[in-house]
């Protein structure tokens, strides 16, 4: 399939095709807090054999980073209100626990995708030390990039945009190679 281009934004960059392992893979999404009785990365590691038996060969870990506390919703807050992308939520374990999980998954011929949503941060994110990273409106309030009330009837998931997401995996791979998760 020839490379496609997005109509807006990244239009100058050609999209890459998805790798075969992703096209033919069986993906299992895991929210570590509720996946096991332990509610942590160690609990996920203990259950990898079950997933392997089901034919799963790609694990998609939902956010594993510490949640923000400022303006937190509910008791635990949103896993997508990330305070620090370079840390593991202490309730889920340590970097060593993540490393063990990845190593065991690889031993069982599974790939691991870590859900990193860079356009979501907590109000008390360590990135707030760099206010120039954030867009503000005329009143000096942080810009909210999408207002759902203006999107009624809009298809938010567009299959033709899927090839653009391959860059996400490339960024995660660079993070791993740079030593954030030494393998």
In-domain check, residue 134: yes
For the chain, the domain total comes to 1
The residue with greater pLDDT, 70 or 93, is 93
Rounded percentage of the chain residues whose pLDDT exceeds 70 = 63
In-domain check, residue 182: no
> Rounded CA gap, 37 and 23, in Å?
31
Convert the pLDDT of each residue in 38-61 to its tens digit. 999 999 999 999 999 999 999 999
In-domain check, residue 48: yes
Q: What is the CATH number of the domain that holds 161?
A: 3.20.20.80
Query: Would the pTM count as exceeding 0.75?
Result: no
Q: What is the pLDDT of residue 46?
A: 98
In-domain check, residue 120: yes
In-domain check, residue 97: yes
Q: What is the pLDDT of residue 81?
A: 75
End-to-end CA distance of the chain: give it in Å, rounded.
33
In-domain check, residue 25: yes
Q: What is the pLDDT of residue 9?
A: 56
In-domain check, residue 15: no
Q: What is the pLDDT of residue 101?
A: 97
Q: What is the pLDDT of residue 2?
A: 46
In-domain check, residue 63: yes
Average pLDDT, the chain: 75
- Exposed e or buried b per residue across 18-37, where buried means at least 16 C-beta atoms within 10 angstroms of its C-beta: beeebeebeebebebbebbe
Q: How many CB atoms lie within 10 A of CB 166?
A: 14
Range of the domain at 150: 20-177
């Amino acid at each position: 399939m020839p490379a496609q281009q997005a109509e807006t934004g990244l239009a100058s960059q050609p999209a890459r095709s998805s790798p075969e392992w992703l096209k033919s893979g069986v993906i299992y999404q895991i929210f570590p807090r509720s996946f096991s009785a332990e509610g942590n990365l160690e609990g996920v590691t203990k259950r990898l054999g079950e997933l392997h038996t089901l034919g799963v060969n790609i694990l998609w870990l939902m956010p594993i980073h510490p949640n923000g506390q400022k303006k937190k919703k509910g008791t635990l807050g949103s896993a997508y209100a990330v305070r620090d992308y370079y840390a593991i939520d202490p309730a889920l374990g340590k970097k060593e626990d993540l490393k063990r999980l990845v190593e065991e998954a690889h031993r069982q011929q599974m790939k691991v995708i870590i859900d990193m949503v860079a356009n979501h941060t907590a109000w008390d994110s360590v990135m707030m030390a760099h206010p120039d990273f954030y867009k503000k409106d005329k009143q000096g309030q942080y810009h909210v990039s999408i207002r759902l009330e203006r999107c009624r009837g809009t298809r938010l998931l567009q299959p033709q945009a899927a090839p653009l997401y391959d860059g996400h995996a490339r960024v995660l791979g660079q993070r791993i190679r740079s030593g954030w998760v030494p393998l």
